[in-house]
Every structure is written in structure tokens, then in C-alpha cells.
């Protein structure tokens, strides 16, 4: 959906961050939205007015009229429920609803800390951390996406935006295997028009707000 300066929905966005996932979600939602972009190094997300909306001072943040929605999992549930014409979430009484909710939380609660474990070579007791282990996360992810094409079978949902973004990131940066069910799932999602639009916007905003130049030592 084209961006609109008068839209009810506003996305606070910083290029090269996980706020790309929210951008993709809004493109899939199909509702007009306004993009408030800024570079993280400006500290816009730490100013009092922003912290009043999201006390964590993180991106992304979506504002729907007077309602502020932080955290990607919350956005993936709130927005499709608020705009059901998007068909991005099963209804509350739909048999797929429980699986949808589980996958919405799987991305941030399981995949992200498991990635961190692998990145930083943490030694963790699987029974004492919520994500279990990287190996367990990958096994569950592979089993979930292998039937395909999406997490809910033939039904694409907002959960695919969250898990798909994390899977694409994992494959891109070598956290996940370059082949196998998770990689095939990430590749399938690459064919979605909304994702292509989000990537074009992210590229544009990245050029508007380039990363700060490294400081030279004196």
C-alpha cells in the first residue's frame, strides 16, 4: 500500500534494524501508513515523547490513531485483528489461531536468543533457558516450515512475516544453514510482492539516513 502523509497508521522506522519486519508487515497489511524514519545515531528513539509511547526506546513502533503498539509480536497480532480485511491472522475461534500465536512469539522469544547463543558461543543449560538450545530451535523451525509453503500450510499470515524475517536474516548472515527446510522457506518468501516493496523502501531510507562515518583516530 502506498505511503500516505494523512494515514492513520504511523511506523517509526530506522533503516538497517529489525524495524524492517514491521515495514514488511505493513506492506502485507494493505492499509495506508505514514513512515517516520530516522537514523539511530540521532537518538530520536530516546527522546521523551518517543519514550512516552515506547518506554524501551526501541524501534519499531507503530501508532494506530492514539494507540501505540511496540514489540513485533504485538504488532503481528494487533494489526491483523484491527484490520481483519488483511486476512493476516486466523480469527479467535479459528482452529489455526493457537498455532498462529505460537509462531508469532517464536521469532523473538526463541529464534533471537538462540541466534545470540550461536553468535556469541554462549554455553547454556537447555533446561534453564526459555529457548532451549540453538539446535532445538532449528529442529522445531525446520519441522514447522517443511510441510509448507507457510507456517499455517497454504495460509500466509503475519507469523510468516516475523519468522520469515528472522529466517532470512539467519540464512543471510550464516547463522542458519544455507540449505534445508528453513533456507527453502526463506527463499519462498522472497517471491512476495510486499517484501519486494519493503526492500525498496528500506533501500531508499538507508540512502536518506546512511550510517555515521567511522571516526578517525587522531
CATH code at position 106: 1.20.1050.10
Is the domain of 110 the same as that of 37? Answer: no
Spatial separation of the C-alpha atoms in residues 48 and 209, rounded to whole Å = 22
Spatial separation of the C-alpha atoms in residues 44 and 46, rounded to whole Å = 5
Per-residue pLDDT of the chain (218 residues; tens, 9 = 90+): 566 778 999 999 999 999 999 999 999 999 999 999 999 999 999 999 999 999 999 999 999 999 999 999 999 999 999 999 999 999 999 999 999 999 999 999 999 999 999 988 888 898 889 899 999 999 999 999 999 999 999 999 999 999 999 999 999 999 999 999 999 999 999 999 999 999 999 999 999 999 887 765 54
Q: Which pTM was predicted? A: 0.94
Is the domain of 78 the same as that of 111? Answer: no
Residues in the chain: 218
Spatial separation of the C-alpha atoms in residues 177 and 138, rounded to whole Å = 9
Q: Is 172 helix (H, G, I), strand (E, B) or coil?
A: helix
Phi, psi at 35, each rounded to 5°: -105, 120
Determine, yes or no, domain membership for 213: no
Determine, yes or no, domain membership for 214: no
Is the domain of 199 the same as that of 188? Answer: no
Domain count, the chain: 2
Determine, yes or no, domain membership for 2: no
Q: Among residues 43, 209, 175, which one has the least CA distance to residue 167? A: 175
Q: Is 179 helix (H, G, I), strand (E, B) or coil?
A: coil
Range of the domain at 152: 97-192
| Sheet hosting strand 61-64, strand order edge to edge | 33-37, 9-13, 61-64, 67-70
CA angle 109, 162, 5 (to 5 degrees): 125
Check residue 124 and give its pLDDT. 87
Amino acid at each position: 500500500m502506498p505511503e500516505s502523509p494523512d494515514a492513520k497508521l504511523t511506523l517509526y522506522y530506522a533503516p538497517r534494524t529489525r524495524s524492517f519486519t514491521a515495514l514488511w508487515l505493513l506492506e502485507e497489511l494493505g492499509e495506508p501508513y505514514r513512515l517516520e524514519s530516522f537514523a539511530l545515531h540521532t537518538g530520536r528513539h530516546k527522546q521523551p515523547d518517543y519514550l512516552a509511547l515506547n518506554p524501551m526506546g526501541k524501534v519499531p513502533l507503530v501508532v494506530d490513531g492514539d494507540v501505540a503498539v511496540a514489540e513485533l509480536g504485538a504488532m503481528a497480532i494487533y494489526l491483523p485483528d484491527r484490520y481483519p480485511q488483511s486476512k493476516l491472522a486466523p480469527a479467535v475461534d479459528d482452529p489455526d489461531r493457537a498455532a498462529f500465536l505460537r509462531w508469532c512469539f517464536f521469532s523473538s522469544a526463541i529464534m533471537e536468543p538462540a541466534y545470540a547463543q550461536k553468535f556469541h558461543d554462549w554455553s547454556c543449560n537447555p533446561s534453564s533457558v526459555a529457548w532451549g538450545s540453538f539446535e532445538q530451535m532449528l529442529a522445531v523451525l525446520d519441522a514447522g516450515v517443511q510441510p509448507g509453503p507457510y507456517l499455517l500450510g497454504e495460509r500466509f499470515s503475519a507469523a510468516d512475516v516475523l519468522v520469515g524475517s528472522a529466517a532470512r536474516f539467519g540464512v543471510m548472515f550464516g547463522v542458519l544453514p544455507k540449505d534445508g527446510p528453513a533456507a527453502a522457506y526463506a527463499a519462498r518468501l522472497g517471491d512476495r510482492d510486499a517484501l519486494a516493496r519493503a526492500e525498496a523502501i528500506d533501500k531508499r531510507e538507508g540512502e536518506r539516513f546512511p550510517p555515521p562515518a567511522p571516526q578517525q583516530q587522531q
